[in-house]
Structure 1
Amino acid sequence: MAVSGFEGFEKRLELHFSGDDPKNVGSLGLGLRLLDFESLQQVLHAVQCTVVSAVANQHFDAYVLSESSLFVYPTKIIIKTCGTTQLLKSIPPLLRLASLDRGLTLVSCRYTRGNFIFPSAQPFPYTNFHNEVVYLEESLPATLCYRKANVMPSKTPSHAWHVFTASTQNTTCRVGEEDNDGGLFTLEICMTELDRNLARNFFLRPSAKYDGDSAGKEMTAITGISEINPRALICDFAFDPCGYSMNGIDGDRHSTIHVTPEDGYSYASFECVGSVYDDRDDVVRVLKKVVQIFRPATMSVSTTCASHEVWTRVTGALEPLGLKCRSCAVDEFPAAGNVVYQTFVDHRSTENNNK
């Protein structure tokens, strides 16, 4: 817990692995999914969070954490944690487990985060991005020799996008079995100053007598989160006295939402994976629903893809909803491809600031 409030902005780590011998991926090609739960718990203990709920399908395992989410694919792991968690401490034990238990080798790493609401409450090395990059550089094997770090700015002082990538290859295509078509993209959305009335949906009712799982299901239903992707299998959880997390599973694609609804530092994040080959209107429908659920005053969208095509759909989806694009930054990173970082401000906030 931060001094002034809970830190909603997440730190996100994505690790991709490969194996020289296909047999090392494990029976039935499960790879990292064969890591025992006790080992995962030990990794999360170092990060300072725990599993509160889980769901899986034939493609990957999804865990809702006490601070955000964990996704485990056969050769890919994604961890998002909020608050004052020590996310980067997961790297050494994960590398050991992948190498010793599964015979896998790290081939790429991506670390991203936004601007913290309460930066002074963060422990070292999250006190500044330079320290985080140094920590990452020292934690990763020398074989990941293509490395880049950058802070992508915006015209909104409270928002900036921090990106670090490292790879064994100097390529704009992401490495990993789930990304072979080269057409997948990831949207990472951060929203602040949520509509107060809508944010109340993420507080437990004082008289209600239910656990985090049942309360989470209720929040998913009443807010319309279940309608963002009706095909997805949803694992959700509500926190006491407030807060909400969900993971969605749709084939080999994940989505996730995390909400800190307290007035004064309200925050929500939404992340999903899509494909440039999907219906072009899918992004528009998803973003429209997300905005309707939260009505943020400020919204940032990071689009990671080998193609420039997707980010134009983001602008086309949000501006008709009253969110004005304030800034757009573009950069290219090894293994990640193009990262486009856009910030949007509710037109009502813009009008008030101009008065």
Structure 2
Amino acid sequence: MEMTHPLLSLTFTNNQSPQTVAKLFTSMALSFSGFEGFEKRLELHFFGDDPMGLRKLDFFECIEQTLEAVQCTVVSAVGNAYLDAYVLSESSLFVYPKKIIIKTCGTTQLLKAITPLIFFAKTQLGLSLSSCRYTRGSFIFPLSQPFPHTSFNHEVSYLETTLPSDLCFRKASIMPSKSSSHAWHVFTATNPNSHLPYNAYTMEICMTSLDPLLAAKFFRLPDDGKTGDSAGKEMTELTGIDEINPNALVCDFAFNPCGYSMNGMDGEWYSTIHVTPEEGYSYASFECVGSMSDEVDIGDVLRKVVQIFRPGMMSVSTTCLGNDVWRKVAGAVEPVGMKLRTCAMDQFPDSGNVVFQTFTPLRRKSS
């Protein structure tokens, strides 16, 4: 007996094991997968007194080797007095004197950055790890992910065995929403002597089902003759991204044939945007770090982000130690058509509180 798949013309015979058939069907499913927009995010803090600290790591010996393990590369970069920001082939990297944030999408193996970064920081700079935070949303194409990102359990196990034992305050949590396809995954580990900024916050926004007309602005024309940097600058201006924070120094890049990444730097704070505009699995993310004492109006920022993408589904994760910036989110986005659907909160030892909110467009009354 023979079975022939009508789409791929793959033939299975009755002498093949069920495991072999299952593997073939899995490979078929992966061949139809689109690009995974949902990012994995890793934040590492270090002890040390050097005012330059991690920014002194050799780019070719340390940064490039680390990114090779993750399976991505640098496509553009900029720096100021506080940090260095890199646009990657899959998202972004930020290097401060005492912390590193790497955010990667697609099928990158982000957690494989931990071991080389700890090694280079220790051997070259005498810095030791003080805390780790790992976050991500729910993958659109989970079967496409390589180990250790094949499941959150596998990721947590990898983190538990890779991190130094003195990071003893550890917690893993999956924060749910009403939609089974939207959950927030968080793992933290801290040293008892670590001290994170009290009034700072990190906000991570994930958006799916983007407005098709707005998503189309992130496609390039065939053979446009532009560099990724020049095409990225045009997209930044065309979409209004440059108006989110007019004071920011922007480093942007447009991929071919579509896709966009941007890092913005405003003093010691950064923001970053990544867009996968393909219909059927369109995705955009916006992330920023800041302080409640800043002049930046986070409500105004949120409204601008929603208007640029008009998502069909949006989640907002806010991490902070000593402020309630998350309370501003719903009030900011409801006037531009987004309704709060779920809100979940959790506390993490010496790592602050995480509030996970989901939004969908307001239902319009029929006339």
Calculate the TM-score normalised by the size of structure 1. Answer: 0.92
Report the counterpart of residue 282 of structure 1 in structure 2: 297
CA distance in 2, matches of 1:351, 1:128: 41
**Residue in structure 1 matching 2:58, options 17, 36, 46:** 36
The residue type paired with residue 277 of structure 1 is S
Give the conservation status (yes or no) of the 8 Å contact 2:292–2:323. no
Please give the secondary structure, in 2, of the residue aligned with 1:141: coil
1:328 aligns with 2:343: yes
Structure-2 change in CA distance of 1:324 and 1:268 (3 Å)? same
Report the counterpart of residue 110 of structure 1 in structure 2: 133
The residue type paired with residue 39 of structure 2 is E
Give the conservation status (yes or no) of the 8 Å contact 1:108–1:175. no
CA distance in 2, matches of 1:300, 1:351: 24
Structure 1 segments, 4+ long, off by >3 Å, are none
**Residue in structure 2 matching 1:223, options 205, 222, 239:** 239
CA distance in 2, matches of 1:196, 1:203: 11
Q: What is the deviation of 1:334?
A: 2.1
1:14 aligns with 2:43: yes
CA distance in 2, matches of 1:207, 1:85: 28
CA distance in 2, matches of 1:263, 1:351: 27
Please give the secondary structure, in 2, of the residue aligned with 1:214: helix
Give the conservation status (yes or no) of the 8 Å contact 1:43–1:94. yes
Q: What is the deviation of 1:307?
A: 3.1
1:267 aligns with 2:287: no
**Residue in structure 1 matching 2:208, options 171, 186, 192:** 192
CA distance in 1, matches of 2:79, 2:156: 32
Please give the secondary structure, in 2, of the residue aligned with 1:9: coil
1:85 aligns with 2:108: yes
Give the conservation status (yes or no) of the 8 Å contact 1:2–1:118. no
**Residue in structure 1 matching 2:192, options 151, 166, 169:** 169
Report the counterpart of residue 327 of structure 2 in structure 1: 312
CA distance in 2, matches of 1:157, 1:319: 23
The residue type paired with residue 228 of structure 1 is I
Give the conservation status (yes or no) of the 8 Å contact 2:199–2:323. no
CA distance in 2, matches of 1:234, 1:277: 22
Structure-2 change in CA distance of 1:121 and 1:351 (3 Å)? farther
**Residue in structure 2 matching 1:298, options 313, 319, 325:** 313
**Residue in structure 1 matching 2:225, options 205, 209, 213:** 209
Q: Which has the higher contact order (CA 8 A, sep 6+)?
A: 1
Root mean square deviation, CA, Å: 1.6
The residue type paired with residue 65 of structure 1 is L
Q: Deviation digits for residues 306-335 of structure 1, max 9, x if unmatched?
A: 135211100110112111111000001123
Please give the secondary structure, in 1, of the residue aligned with 2:325: helix
1:131 aligns with 2:147: no
The residue type paired with residue 132 of structure 2 is C
Q: Report how many residues are paired.
A: 336
The residue type paired with residue 251 of structure 1 is G
Which structure 1 residue ranges, 5 or more long, are not aligned? none
Report the counterpart of residue 16 of structure 2 in structure 1: none
Structure-2 change in CA distance of 1:113 and 1:351 (3 Å)? farther
Please give the secondary structure, in 1, of the residue aligned with 2:297: helix
Q: Deviation digits for residues 295-354 of structure 1, max 9, x if unmatched?
A: 001000000011352111001101121111110000011232010000001124x989xx
Give the conservation status (yes or no) of the 8 Å contact 1:169–1:334. no
Report the counterpart of residue 5 of structure 1 in structure 2: 34
Structure-2 change in CA distance of 1:122 and 1:2 (3 Å)? farther
The residue type paired with residue 318 of structure 1 is V
1:337 aligns with 2:352: yes
Report the counterpart of residue 69 of structure 2 in structure 1: 46
CA distance in 2, matches of 1:231, 1:154: 35
**Identity, % of aligned pairs?**
65
CA distance in 2, matches of 1:108, 1:337: 12
Calculate the TM-score normalised by the size of structure 2. Answer: 0.89
CA distance in 1, matches of 2:305, 2:66: 32
Give the conservation status (yes or no) of the 8 Å contact 2:219–2:257. yes
Q: Deviation digits for residues 217-252 of structure 1, max 9, x if unmatched?
A: 000000000000001000000000000000011100
1:148 aligns with 2:171: yes
Which structure 2 residue ranges, 5 or more long, are not aligned? 1-29
Report the counterpart of residue 258 of structure 2 in structure 1: 242
The residue type paired with residue 216 of structure 1 is G
Give the conservation status (yes or no) of the 8 Å contact 1:191–1:299. yes
Report the counterpart of residue 249 of structure 2 in structure 1: 233
Please give the secondary structure, in 2, of the residue aligned with 1:290: helix
Please give the secondary structure, in 2, of the residue aligned with 1:309: coil
